[in-house]
Structures are given as structure tokens and as C-alpha cells.
Amino acid sequence: MKLFDLSGKTALVTGAGRGIGRSLALGLAEAGSNLVLCSRSRDELDAVAREAEAFGVEAAVAPCDVTDAGQVDAAVHAGVERFGGIQVLINNAGLTVKKPAEELPLEDWQHVINVNLTGVFLVAQRVGRQMIRQGEGSIINISSIAASTALRGSLAYCASKGGVQMVTRVLAVEWAPHGVRVNALAPAYTETPLVKALTDSRPDFAEAVRRRTPMQRMARAGEMVGAAVFLASGASSYVTGETVHVDGGWTACGF
């Protein structure tokens, strides 16, 4: 099990205050990693930090809007100052807007692309520079089944997540000589506050997802942790440029 041990490493996690980001942050802490926790909500981050420190690690809170390069730089700097380096990045911050394509306002399109794709680029670039200086690192971009299967009413989200997969591949190829691995994790619909907003507004939505998924249920946020620890740790030392689907069989199912 030493292959999966993250003791002595530091992980920066965006969107760490809730949902998948929170679960991944706590999962990495349980595996031994110190944390730099980023999101726009200080209160949520403080709560996650307290939970993480119960595993015997240190957790720094760095409120950050991933679309603001200055704030991203400040968060990375704070992590390096506190821990001496950043060995793992969980690039998780994201959002969606559910509207038919013909009714999607330009400002909604731009907002989703800015957070989900430009934000991933900014954080990966800034953390990647530090990892290149270190000569090591593992970046895990959170993609989605929406990168490879069309979801109705989710044009901007699908486009952004498809972009995340190509960002992942290009960075993996460019940064492999520097000892930096870049992979993506692609969940299916997961029980998070973001998805709860959809199910609350559309009572039939959860049942439709259940029927479409071979495992007949949505994912739980904690079910992303195993794949993330694998990609963050020495267990995946020769894995880069890949997307790991944690989707209950969604993308394998043609009907």
C-alpha cells in the first residue's frame, strides 16, 4: 500500500468547499497529503480544513476565484510558502447552466467556459510552473462524461469539459519530460449540491439518470476518491494523458 501513500506531499484543490472537491480533499488528507484548499467561500473552506486536520495533516485555506489570474497566483504562492512546494493539483472548480442551445445567452456560455475551461488552464499553468521547477508533480483535471457524450441542455458544459480533456492531453505531452503527469477524472452524475439543484427543479431527472446508468444509480462523491488517490500517487507513475471514467458504466453503454 506504500504506492498509494501521499505522506509528505501537498495537494492544491480547487472547488474544495463542497461536493466532489470536498470529498477529494478529505480523501487525499486521509492518504497523508497536506492541503491547500481553494474556492470562493472562506467559511466552507475553514470547515473542510478542520475535517482534514483530523487526519493529522496540515490544511491551508486560500480563497480564490479560478478565473482571476492574480488570485490563482496568490493561492499557489501561499501553498509554496507554507509547504515548500505543491506535488498534486486537483483542478475541480466548475459549474453548469441547463438551457436549450437555441436559448442559451452569450453571457451564460462565456461564464461556463470561463470557469470550467479557462479556470482549469490558469490553475494548471500556474501550478505546473511550480511543478516543473520541482521536477515532479501530478495534475488531475476534473472532466466529465459530458466530454465524450452529448447531454441535452448542456452545450456550454459539454464544450468546456471536452476542452478540459484536450488541455489534459496537451499538457501531459508537453510536461512529461519535466516529471509532471497530467490526467483527468471523468465522473458521471454525482450526488452533489450542483446536481441537487437539477433534481430539485426537475423531479423526473434523477429517475432518468438512474435508468440510463448501467449501475442504476448516481455516483456518491466519495466514490471519486480511489481513482484520485491512484492518479495522485506513485501507483500511477507511468500514467499520463489519460482520462479515467468513474461513471457506473455510462460511457460504455450504447443504449
Percent over 90 (pLDDT), the chain: 92
Query: CA angle, 163 as apex, 212 and 45 as ends, to 5°?
Result: 80
Question: Distances from the Cα of 247 to the Cαs of 18, 53, 75, 188, in angstroms?
Answer: 20, 30, 31, 4
> Which domains can be identified in the chain, with CATH numbers?
2-189+222-245 (3.40.50.720)
Residue 230: per-residue pLDDT: 98
Residue 165: per-residue pLDDT: 97
Q: Whole-number mean pLDDT of the chain? A: 96
Q: What is the pLDDT of residues 138-153, one digit of tens each?
A: 999 999 999 999 999 9
Q: What is the pLDDT of residues 66-111, one digit of tens each?
A: 999 999 999 999 999 999 999 999 999 999 999 999 999 999 999 9
Residue 94: per-residue pLDDT: 94
Any catalytic annotation for residue 189?
Answer: no
Bridge partner list, 182: 139
Confirm if 38 and 46 have CB atoms less than 8 A apart: no
Instruction: Choose the catalytic residue: 157, 175, 230, 250.
Output: 157
Q: What is the grid cell recorded at 64? A: 480564490
Residue 254: per-residue pLDDT: 84
The kind and range of the H/E element at 78 are: helix 69-83
pTM tops 0.85, yes or no: yes
Instruction: Tell me whether strands 180-187 and 10-14 are parallel, antiparallel or unpaired.
Output: unpaired
User: How confident is residue 205, by pLDDT bands cut at 50, 70 and 90?
Assistant: confident
